[in-house]
Chains A and B, each alone.
Chain A
């Protein structure tokens, strides 16, 4: 297994986030090449590359661009989703901190391809230094003529607005993000119509994740074949895998799609010393939990799907045997309850009841029948709301009951949690090593 740093290749340069630092590594080299070709060729190139959305759903990026109607007389918009909030997900944040210009270059290319003249970066508000770095990069790009009127003499104009959110997980959902960007409560819209037809201000809009757009300049520079040579047949290219939790060297590992957790853990020094893997998420808390039995599952869209979960955001949260799975699941469920926007009844009411039931189970005050209630509730939430937040809320519950039913029962038999929370902390780990 080989690491393939592309997006992260120069993050160890002290000025990698500046225009000078980016250009020294060949940055903005793809832009004139793209602007010198017809827009439809760029769309086709991205289709040919096999690039799939890195925000979780894995929808083919080029196909999304191809859905934008042309010659319709309406303004088109590109909106970059930088509202990184899925629990465990921490890839776009370091990317934007260390290399915001690769996103800006990707935005100009993508906007040219879909014939948009105004693009937006919607950044979650709770990380102000990411916002600073992106604001500065956009200002530098304007000053250098990579944004604004007649970019590089091509006749193409693009305005780019940096927009800070205000704290709402649901705004990572693309239609809620659009409502939020329109100055409203961030609540998902019913589809169809999809954003490609009626998105921002009811105009054709592409919403793409940061990492997806940031991958575009390298594809333009090196070609679709180069990109497809990495990864697997249906999951092409490189991507950022984020390891966190009970692992020796947590962090970002850029590798071809299809590596396994066993390979990544090997690189990251393994589970912390003296402990063993208990459960993990392949792509954030909304993706069903996996266990040590899944160490050799290829981490691509198909492989993780076949294992009963989803690749999601490739946020690999690693938990060892000191972690109480009931506590972990309760906390995630409290998160979904807090972040449910309230629009759809199954999600709004369902997450509320899930917390009630899980809470009493964790305190050892529930009954075995509560497990059936949890599964029944989950069944009534899944697929019954406008967006996937409610679906995500059921993932940790159904998967943890599937793999760790005995642990739920142990809470009932022991009339409380059998785990010592101190043993799971990094402070305890420090004493052990």
Chain B
């Protein structure tokens, strides 16, 4: 793990995506995490150098965003949603069980360095609650048992596949995608999960379409 000349080149490629260089800072920091596993002082210094900022200006950005880690993260970041809806539906129970099962607290990494456990805020999958994320891939409709089995598989080095995405890659591999370097996995997983199709399936059964909406009703008639 080191920041090399090729890292600099990739950072210059990120800068070229934007009309103004500083806009590249967030993806550049994702790239630092891809290379280093977390945001290191060297990574901050490199971003500052390439963007003509002070390291204090870069550090101020790093500390604002929750995805930037200032300590080493395990190969697998496990985020359990404990915002209200997931918490009530079972997220609190899952998070408590994983803390005990992995013998770690919030934002801590297992002794073997494989898993960092953290509670996360709403991850926009409320219709699949309770939800947890592994390296920012969805694991929908979880239970205490399924969550424990999931982390056991990760620790044993077994393959784990997202319920709506690809086989889980490492934290650093995923950070490259966040930096804007695609990994070619966009085609993995279904177009939509079951809950995403709940309304469409029903519409198909009922024969409902937007085209059959009363297109001949003039707006004036609806105002009445």
Contact = CB atoms under 8 A, between A and B. Distances in A.
Given A12-B191, A424-B88, A225 B215 contact: yes
A169 B26 contact: no
Contact of B138 (A127, A184, A185): A127
Contact of A168 (B24, B25, B66, B192): B66
Nearest to A224: B219
B213 A233 contact: no
A185 B61 contact: yes
Interface string A169-203: 10000000000111111100000000000000100
A166 B185 contact: no
B167 to A, nearest CB: 12
B173 to A, nearest CB: 10
Contacts of B189: 129
A92 B217 CA distance: 30
Interface in B165-189: 165-166, 174, 177-180, 182-183, 185-189
A161 B17 contact: yes
A164 B83 CA distance: 22
A355 to B, nearest CB: 14
Contacts of B1: none
Interface residues of A, number: 103
B147 to A, nearest CB: 11
B85 interface: yes
A5 interface: yes
A421 interface: yes
Contacts of B125: 90, 93
A17 interface: yes
Interface string B66-95: 111000000000010011110111101100
A118 B127 contact: no
Contacts of B85: 87-88, 244-245, 317
B67 A12 contact: no
Interface stretch (B4-12, B104-112, B116-124, B152-160): B116-124
Contacts of B68: 166-167
Interface stretch (A59-67, A143-151, A323-331, A403-411): A323-331
A166 B65 contact: yes
A242 B125 CA distance: 10
A332 B83 contact: yes
Contacts of A89: 122, 124, 126
Interface in A112-153: 118, 124-129, 131-133, 135-136, 139
Contacts of B203: 3-5, 254
Contacts of B61: 183-185
B197 A251 contact: yes
B121 A338 contact: yes
Nearest to A341: B64
Contacts of A249: 195, 198
Contacts of A252: 127, 195-200
A426 B196 contact: no
B93 A164 contact: no
A244 B127 contact: yes
Nearest to A181: B23
Given A128-B178, A185-B60, 7 more contacts: A3-B206, A126-B123, A163-B27, A201-B19, A230-B213, A233-B223, A252-B127
6 shortest A-B CB distances, which residue pairs? A251-B198, A253-B199, A183-B25, A136-B186, A166-B65, A167-B66
5 contacts: A90-B124, A166-B66, A244-B127, A251-B198, A426-B89
Interface of A: 2-6, 8-9, 11-18, 21, 75, 84-90, 92-94, 97-98, 118, 124-129, 131-133, 135-136, 139, 161-169, 180-186, 201, 218, 225-226, 228-230, 232-233, 238, 241-246, 249-256, 267-268, 285, 315, 317, 319, 323, 327-328, 331-332, 335, 338-339, 341, 421-422, 424-427
